[in-house]
Amino acid sequence: MSGLVRGLLVAVILGVATLGEGGASAGSLVIQHVLLAIGVAAAVFLRPPAPFVPSKAPSLGWLAFACCAAAGAIVAPYGYAAWLVLIEVAAFGSVAWLAAGDPAAWTRVLPPAVALFAGAHGAAAVVQRFAGTARPASTFLNPNHLAAWLSAATLLLAGSLTGTPASRRARWFSAASIVLALAGLFVAGSRGAALGLLAGSAVLAGATWPRVPVRARRALVAAVLAIGLAAVAGVAARVLSEDDPYRFHRIRIWSAALHGLAQSPWAGTGPGQFAAAAANLNFPNENTPLRFDRSFRTPHSDVLRAACEFGIPAALAALAAAACFATALWRRRARLTGIEHGAIAALGALAVQAVVDDLSTRPALTLLGASFAGFLVAVPREAAPGAADRVAARAAALLLVAALGAGEVAGFLAWDASHALPRGRLTAAQLDGLKRSIAWNPMVPDAWERLAEHAAGDGTSWDVLGYAAAREAAEHACRLQPVDAVYARGAARIEAAACLSILPFAATRDHAVRLYETAAALARTDATIPLEAARFLLRAGDPSGARRAAESALRLEPRAAVPRLWLAEAIAAAGGPGAAVEARRLLDEAIALAPPAGAIPTSPYDASLRWLDPALVSGLGRRLESASGP
């Protein structure tokens, strides 16, 4: 496979990765991975072999990290999430390996491609801003991630302009792309990207200063100042234009993530397991209506992610790979070209922003960084690969083709067959689509949860056979993902619906309660779980149990209105001396705490805990008036 084809393939992959939520959407991912599978297979099986290979020391460091990730994935409770992380690691390594195969071709192809993408996304962000979007993100979904990509592209292009003179047209094109990228950075207003861009600009200026002619040094200083001012001005405009009560929330997330690391320092939460573990790492906000309305699913720092999710040994392996990478570049610092300086500055910017942001959630950023890293660590091949090397390379290529090609296509077909289906009872055609999804990928717990919801329907029009099918599907979802409260709660709902309809027995009720307790233990800061249990127990004729569950919800969210309503219902149902008076007090408090008319919930959690049902309020009020007598 020729170097030019390698470069073009990497450029196309990087371009696709900027589309569809920064490359994280299902359609974008499958295209990226299929192209990678094709590229790796062609590079391994077609002659001649690439004239360059990645340097050994950084490659060994990366392989050590990959092995740690694989070991963690083997024992991870949620196997499919761990598998997806391994796919991320494989994609990163594949792009780096392809980019290292022919640095000269990379130099010819990548800068123009990056300039095209950067200009397009910068312009798109500006258009979105003028259209009324407060913080535009182009196609990246998150403005911080768009800003990270634009800052890396800006530094690469700036470095290329300080190197070997290109044609006048190419230089003007790069300069125009830099201007558009800086405009996109300004309207995105990312603090992390501003910090990264400033660090990368300092690296670029320091590396190129001795090589730049005296006359051009003023232009270099002016360019660095313009880059820095654009980033700082964008952040200042954002800070001055919005009143963000969660401005320092990220610092508390880091503290919570470190607390999780302290609980399991060697293995971490496991690859892909942090999102479920975060439910029990959440922390209260005492100056907001609800204490736990704001949740998180990532550490919001890739440096922390390396340790918190993969464990300290894996983090040390990643650190060793970075150290070997930096050492290899330092040894040949006198021979580095302008575009290499730009790539180093871009990686520096991404690394600095990764300290305060979760850049690894966007393939557009990880693959761009992999391309730069592979280009920078490329060294000439010393000898033609031997027979054993060819066998090992072909075996690895076949595994990658199976994972990135066949495996990803099957995963995409499963997603495509089910993602648009409604929840609950399905039509015959919709049920066929769900079954196709499970056939393509039986490892996704949400598909089994949907199957359970179909079998249960509305919880009234089913029979024992339907209950058995729903229970088995819900329990299978729990087996696939045993540490996420979502699926334990789903299983509890199946039991609760059966108890209230076809199996009105104490054993069924107790089983539902145990499942709700399991879900609550997996998400100890989610007040909606005990609140849901309270509603069920009240309908199941257990006001004492309902009272305990409602009180649990109220301890978590003491300023919430809905738990007070259900606690009042439970007290009124239990009866006894003073019950009506206590229930009336709680109902009045709930009404006082409910949001005013016209207010909009900030989240489903907020809607579940502060928005009262007027029919329930009036019904309870009438019953309490009747109980209190004339």
Model pLDDT for residues 549-589, shown as the tens digit of each residue: 999 999 999 999 999 999 999 999 998 888 999 999 999 99
DSSP reduced 3-state for 52: strand
Can you spell out the DSSP letters for 146-209?
HHHHHHHHHHHHHHHHTSS---HHHHHHHHHHHHHHHHHHHHHT-HHHHHHHHHHHHHHHHHHG
Let me know whether 44 and 152 are in one domain.
yes
186, two tokens: 């300004």
Residue 617 maps to a domain? yes
Q: Is residue 533 part of a domain?
A: no
Structure tokens at 213: 């002619």
Q: Tell me if 531 is assigned to some domain.
A: no
At residue 378, what is the residue type?
Answer: A
Position 606 in a domain: yes
Give the mean model confidence (pLDDT) for residues 189-216: 80
> Is residue 530 a contact partner of residue 553, using CB atoms and an 8 Å limit?
yes
With CA atoms as reference, report the closest residue to 338 among 214, 209, 228. 209
pLDDT tens digits for range 310-369? 999 999 999 999 999 999 999 988 888 889 999 999 999 999 999 999 999 999 999 999
Rounded to 10 degrees, the C-alpha dihedral 16/137/232/368 comes to: -20
> Rounded distance, CA 305 to CA 313, Å?
13
Judgement on whether residues 455 and 571 belong to the same structural domain of the protein: no
In a shared domain, residues 491 and 345: no
% of residues, the chain, pLDDT over 70: 92
Residue 52 pairs in a beta bridge with 380
Q: Where are the alpha helices (DSSP H) in 404-505?
A: 408-418, 428-440, 445-456, 464-480, 485-499
Do 522 and 576 lie in one domain? The reply is no
Find all residues with CB under 8 Å of 541, minimum gap 6, and list them.
none
Are residues 152 and 263 both part of a single domain? yes
| Cα torsion angle, 9, 15, 19, 24, sign | positive
Q: Identify the DSSP state of 376.
A: H
Report pLDDT for 459. Answer: 84
Work out the number of other CB atoms within 10 angstroms of the CB of residue 504: 12
Question: In this structure, are 375 and 431 located in the same domain?
Answer: no
- 414 within some domain: no
Q: How confident is the model at residue 286 (pLDDT cuts 50, 70, 90)?
A: confident
**Looking at the structure, do residues 400 and 429 belong to the same domain, yes or no?**
no
Residue 313 has a pLDDT of 95
The pLDDT score that the predictor gives to residue 49 is 82
Query: Which tokens belong to 597?
Result: 């008319």
* SS3 call for 66: helix
Q: What is the mean pLDDT of the chain?
A: 90
Question: Domain holding 452: CATH number?
Answer: 1.25.40.10
Q: Distance between CA 7 and CA 102 in Å, rounded?
A: 8
* pLDDT band per the 50, 70, 90 thresholds, residue 213: low
Is the domain of 393 the same as that of 431? Answer: no
Q: Which is nearest to 65 in space by CA: 364, 353, 319?
A: 319
Determine the structural domain holding residue 129 and report its residue range: 3-404
Geometric angle at alpha carbon 147, from 174 and 103, rounded to 5°: 50
Burial track 480-489 (b if 16+ CB lie within 10 A, e otherwise): bbebbbbbbb
Whether 544 is in a domain gets the answer no
Residues 566, 531: contact at Cβ < 8 Å?
Answer: yes
CB 345, CB 203: distance < 8 Å: yes
For residue 121 the two structure tokens come to: 């996304």
Same domain, 98 and 146: yes
Closest CA to 397 of 5, 39, 134: 39
Residue 418 lies in a domain: no
Q: How far apart are CA 124 and CA 129, in angstroms?
A: 9
Residue 167 is predicted with a pLDDT of 73
Q: What's 265's DSSP letter?
A: T
Q: Is residue 57 part of a domain?
A: yes
pLDDT at 447: 97
Provide the pLDDT confidence category of residue 201 given band limits of 50, 70 and 90.
Answer: confident
Contact 299, 274 (CB under 8 A): yes
> Do 453 and 561 reside in the same domain of the chain?
no
Give the 3-state secondary structure of residue 378.
strand
Per the CB < 8 A criterion, the answer to whether 605 and 528 are in contact is yes
Residue 611 burial by Cβ neighbours in a 10 Å radius (0-12, 13-18, 19+): middle
Q: Which whole-number Å values give the CA distances from 249 to 246, 260, 290, 498, in the listed order? A: 5, 17, 15, 42
The Cα–Cα gap between 184 and 352 comes to 19
* Three-state secondary-structure class, residue 379: strand
Say whether both 440 and 495 belong to one domain: yes
Rounded Cα gap, residues 335 and 57, in angstroms:
19
State the SS3 of 570-615: HHHHHCCCCHHHHHHHHHHHHHHHCCCCCCCCCCHHHHHHHCCCHH
Cα gap 610→594, rounded to integer Å: 5
Q: How many domains does the chain have?
A: 3
Q: Which domain-ending residue is among 350, 371, 404?
A: 404
pTM for this one?
0.91
- Indicate the length of the chain as a whole number: 630
Distances (CA, A) of 339 to 208, 211, 502, 561: 10, 13, 71, 60
Q: What is the dihedral of CA 282, 283, 284, 288, to 10 degrees?
A: -70
Angle in degrees, 0-180, between the axes of helices 143-161 and 103-130, rounded to the nearest 10: 130
pLDDT the model gives residue 231: 58
Exposed / middle / buried, residue 365 (Cβ in 10 Å: 0-12, 13-18, 19+)? buried
Same domain, 389 and 517: no
Tell me the average pLDDT across 441-463. Answer: 94
Model confidence band, residue 247 (pLDDT cutoffs 50, 70, 90): low
Report residue 168 as tokens.
Answer: 């006048």
> How does residue 92 score in pLDDT terms, banded at 50, 70 and 90?
very high
Q: What is the pLDDT of residue 578?
A: 87
Tell me which of 554 and 2 has the higher pLDDT. Answer: 554
